[in-house]
A = this chain, B = another copy of it.
């Protein structure tokens, strides 16, 4: 990867950057529309990230953030952890964005703690609320989201630096979710859920989950980043799945703000919030995608996976649509459940479960775990059953003992199903499935939810 940009790249990125800055400067005058500003910020984020990834690649390699791509014939070293660049640009952008939706026209004039000779009366110049303008009291929620994202970046960098053990790694998002949970507790504190209609005779209409609600949110925040981190390992897969999920959440958000939706919709604020978080995320992710798609010129690092997953987690928690989000994570949920036998040690787990690169054909093949000692009987039977259901590839010796099986990951399963293929075809197939599952999920959410709830919000 050359650190200097081509003429074309310079032209494109600088145009996007310039246009973004111009729009932002324009929006700031008068009562601009924050969504336009957010779009402009995303353009700025995209172009900055694009250039920075190129310029900083060398510095990252010098600092030891580098790795070899094992699925290529020429195994050259390329920069690692470039997701950190995305994350830092993203954080800067959403911090600078704060005044656009949250600015309040209240002049609360005091000269502060220093020498308060005069205390002016607070003049509450409440101008009417505009569409797309947030209530100011949601500022704390927005700040807590940024805090959680910054925390995950700090801890993710720690992970990329120190090679933390798997069982400690899993808890990184748990620590990072503390700010958002604490501010939720302090600022909002609603732990009631709406009960589906069939269960209402027994539980009532609302049910207070209490601390269980916090446990649920923490579990959700732990799941999102880790699930992206384990559906990983081939060029572009981490970024592309994140882009797909973000886009589908955006579609869902837009359904609440579209002209055909009755206005003002009670969930409008929550979905605006989500849009403001996601647009710049798409900006930085696309810039990373350009460098990480097959053949990858940089690696994303664990930092990116944690960061992307945490963006979705805070989005779902503060936007109160975590149930909908599960529907967009179907491949990740499947991959997690499918991986469980190896993650929890029922089946021996090799150090790496990435698909195997066949240097002769140039294609990716399902990687396998071999067993020197025979596994316990019931586990062998279960594996044979999975084999019959086309959910696993299993090799037995002449005595019928399982000696080898494909590794328990969705990526390997895809290769079991469709045979060896080139790395980019593999990634495209998985992404197509992610899109299909997500669209189906959204359909279920908006068309079938009425069967168990009294009202959809559309």
Task: Name A's B-contacting residues (CB within 8 A).
Answer: 59-60, 62-64, 88, 91-92, 95-96, 98-99, 102-104, 107-119, 136, 139-140, 143-144, 146-147, 150-151, 153-155, 157-158, 161-162, 175, 178-179, 182-183, 185-190, 192-194, 205-206, 256, 266-267, 269-271, 319-324, 449, 453-457
Contacts and interface: CB of A to CB of B under 8 A. Distances in A.
Candidate in A99, A155, A161 with the most chain B CB atoms within 10 angstroms: A161
A46 B136 CA distance: 37
A144 B139 CA distance: 10
B109 A271 contact: no
Nearest to A103: B186
Contacts of A116: 194, 266-267, 457
A320 B190 contact: no
A117 B320 contact: no
B117 A454 contact: yes
A185 B106 CA distance: 11
A95 B59 contact: no
A148 to B, nearest CB: 9
Interface of A is mostly: helix
B98 A320 contact: no
Given A113-B457, A118-B206, 15 more contacts: A63-B161, A64-B64, A88-B155, A88-B158, A96-B178, A104-B187, A108-B189, A111-B320, A113-B267, A113-B271, A114-B323, A115-B457, A139-B140, A143-B147, A150-B151
B143 A111 contact: no
Contacts of A453: 115, 117
| Copies held by the complex | 2
Contacts of A179: 95, 98, 146
A186 B271 contact: no
Given A117-B453, A154-B150, A108 B266 contact: no
Closest 10 CB pairs of A and B: A112-B320, A113-B270, A113-B267, A113-B320, A143-B143, A150-B150, A115-B194, A114-B320, A63-B161, A98-B182
Contacts of A60: 162
A158 to B, nearest CB: 8
B190 A108 contact: yes
A194 B188 CA distance: 37
B99 A185 contact: yes
A35 to B, nearest CB: 17
Contacts of A270: 112-113
A386 B167 CA distance: 61
A101 B250 CA distance: 36
29 contacts: A60-B162, A63-B64, A88-B158, A91-B154, A92-B175, A92-B178, A96-B178, A96-B182, A99-B185, A99-B186, A103-B185, A111-B193, A113-B256, A113-B266, A113-B270, A113-B320, A114-B323, A115-B449, A116-B267, A116-B457, A117-B453, A117-B454, A118-B205, A118-B206, A136-B186, A139-B183, A139-B186, A143-B147, A143-B183
A51 to B, nearest CB: 16
Nearest to A56: B162
Contact of A182 (B88, B95, B178): B95
A111 B190 contact: yes
B192 A111 contact: yes
A256 B140 CA distance: 28
